[in-house]
Structure 1
């Protein structure tokens, strides 16, 4: 579980996050949604510690992240997995090498233990062994995202952050990635936070949804709650999505 308490973040005097409080629950897919420029990416990066907040508290379970020194934060980050928007795979090394990379950097496993963990992770994201020795450029975009997820879970993280994991994917492949993230979240009981503007992801896996508008928390609930919401800003956002508009009318 990650708890945010009254988070404020400014850049050059402009308030980008204004007094945001929420709880990202363990074992659930927690989505942050909003228009471009709403502050959702800044919130994700602030929670990770990539941006220092101006005020407020960030708690990882019972640990106050905002009061940790750099050494303590470095230790905690070993419990964090990250899936970047573009995948951020190293094209100079193989699929297998990409997943092994965090193990080489941060674990004390033997070579045999690392190999076993690499195979375990790739198997969990349904990557066939025939692809292990290929470079990322030799596999499809959907496979690249699955390899990125395998790398993110290599160190068995307690917390998983996903920044626009469906970016650049066709709707069918995006649904596969959504379902994969949700399955892994439940299997390993991670606290998963997904930053997205894709309403189809909300339909698929929105167990807990935080809607941000102009740096403020406008609404939170589940994907089912969205259809019953009378929040006008949320209505304007979701009605831009034709599928949601049809679902709303069909209530």
Structure 2
């Protein structure tokens, strides 16, 4: 579980986050949504500790990130997996090497142990072993995202962060990635936080959805509640998409 308590963040006098409190639950896909410039990326980076907040607290279970020493933060980072927008695979390293990278960097595993772990992670994201020696440029965008997810879970993280994991993917592949992230979240009981603008993802896997507007928490609920939220700002955000406007009319 990750609990955010009354956090605020400003840059050069511009208030980007304003007194946000939210609990992200373990074993659930927790989504952050909002318009461009709403502050959702700053919120994600603040929770990760990439930005120091001005006020508030960020709790990883019973540990307050704000009060952690550098050593404690380093230990925490070993418990975090990250799926970056675009995948962010190393172009000059093959599939197997990309997943092995965090094991080389952060563990004392033996060579055979690393091979076993890499195979375990790639099997879990349905990557065929014939693809292990291929390079990112030789595989599809959807496969690249699956490899990125395999790398993110290589260290068996307690916490998984995904920044626009469906960026650049077609709707069918996006659904596959969504379902994969949700399945892994439940299997490994991770606290998963996903920053997205993809309404298909919200409807598909939004077990808990935080909508922020102009740096403030505007609405929290589930994918089952979101189409009937009664929140005008949220409706304006969702139903700017004609498909969801039609869904609303059809209810």
TM category (shorter chain) comes to over 0.9
Could you say which residue in structure 2 is the equivalent of 1:229? 229
> In the alignment, which residue of structure 1 is the partner of 2:196?
196
Distance 2:241 2:221 in 1: 18
- TM-aligned CA deviation for residue 61 of structure 1: 0.6
| Aligned match of 2:183 | 183
CA distance in structure 2 between the partners assigned to 1:106 and 1:74 by the alignment: 10
Partner SS state of residue 235, structure 1: helix
Which runs of structure 1 show a deviation greater than 4 angstroms over 4 or more consecutive aligned residues? none
Matched residue SS, 1:127? coil
The number of residues matched between the two structures is 251
In the alignment, the residues of structure 2 paired with residue 157 and residue 69 of structure 1 have an alpha-carbon distance, to the nearest angstrom, of: 20
2:155 maps to which residue? 155
Q: Secondary structure at the match of 1:56?
A: strand
Q: Per-residue deviation at 1:248?
A: 1.7
| 2:225 match: secondary structure | helix
1:7 matched to which residue of 2? Answer: 7
* Aligned equivalents of 2:230, 2:243: Cα separation in 1: 18
* Structure 2 runs not aligned, ≥5 long: none
Displacement of 1:227 in angstroms is 1.7
Equivalence for 1:36: 36
Give the alignment of 1:1-251 within 5 angstroms.
1-251=1-251
Report Cα offsets for 1:24-73 as digits up to 9, x if no partner.
00000000000110000000000000000001000001111110011100
Shift of 1:129: 0.5
Gaps of 5+ in 1: none
Q: For 1:100 and 1:158, how far apart are their aligned partners in 2? A: 18
Q: Secondary structure at the match of 2:228?
A: coil
How far residue 225 of structure 1 moved from its aligned partner, in angstroms, is: 1.0
Q: Secondary structure at the match of 1:57?
A: strand
Q: Deviations over 1:64-118 (max 9, x none)?
A: 1110011100001100000000111001111000000000000111110100000
TM-score (norm 1): 0.99
Q: Could you tell me how far apart the structure 2 residues matched to 1:111 and 1:39 are?
A: 42
